[in-house]
Amino acid sequence: MKRKPRTPAYKAEDQERVIKGKFMQERVEKVINKPLVPLNERQAEYIQAINDYDLIIATGYAGTSKTYIPATMAADALRKGMIDKIYLCRPNVSESQSLGFFSGDVDQKLYNWLMPLISVIRTRMGTVEFDIALKEKNIELIPLETIKGSSFPKGSWVLVDEAEDLTISELKAVTTRTGGCKMILSGDTAQSVLKEDSGLAKFRSMVERSSRLQEHVGFVCFDDYSHIVRSALCKNLIIEFDKAGY
């Protein structure tokens, strides 16, 4: 039985329409008409830090938009032509199963593993634009193991999610790849699988002690229950987990 050809994620005319320069203004207007609005003062500080610094560290409670905000800003910057590329990275560490247990080849495993970032960017850009950007490698999924020897150039954003599960040596490998990029490290050190060996906590302490680094590195901590915006249930669960010492 002859197998039907796979239906492409987007039509050829869609691709041509998206990539043509004359449609750039339309994409810019979509961003302008749907701006990212902070829901509290700390989110506003986070957005400002991302605008002002080359490297940003965001820590604190779950449900505070540590992932959502930089992913949305990166998607908007790519759509408006302000940057050329977005790199997505996440440590291959989990409380339950590792990256190797996902089905598919390496690309599919990475796609599933990076879904928290991907879903935000894809929703913000639209499926057609996202699929084209991924195909053309304007959005690239980076396995942590391949970062050494890489360089993240000017005109690119690097989003490192769940950074609390990076060791300090891995963080050194990631952060020293910068070649003028903007890099955002986000994570909740309280939920680190590595516990006291979390590289993000150590890196934060190093930055706080260094006047040399503070010129380039912004730091935002969502350390109050009022910063949790995901849902009332999420906030109350975190409060009760904290009270119970879990």
Its pTM stands at 0.85
> Token digits for 158?
């690097």
pLDDT tens-digit profile, the chain (246 residues):
444 444 445 565 565 555 555 566 766 776 767 889 999 999 999 999 999 999 999 999 999 999 999 999 999 999 999 999 999 999 876 544 454 555 566 677 888 889 999 999 999 999 999 999 999 999 999 988 888 778 999 999 999 999 999 999 999 999 999 999 999 999 999 889 888 889 999 999 999 999 999 999 999 999 999 999 999 999 999 999 999 998
Q: What domains are defined for the chain?
A: 12-244 (3.40.50.300)
Which long-range contacts link 189-194 to residues 24+ away (Cβ below 8 Å)?
A: 189/59, 189/164, 190/61, 191/62, 191/164, 192/164, 192/165, 193/93, 193/94, 193/95, 193/165, 194/93, 194/164, 194/165, 194/167
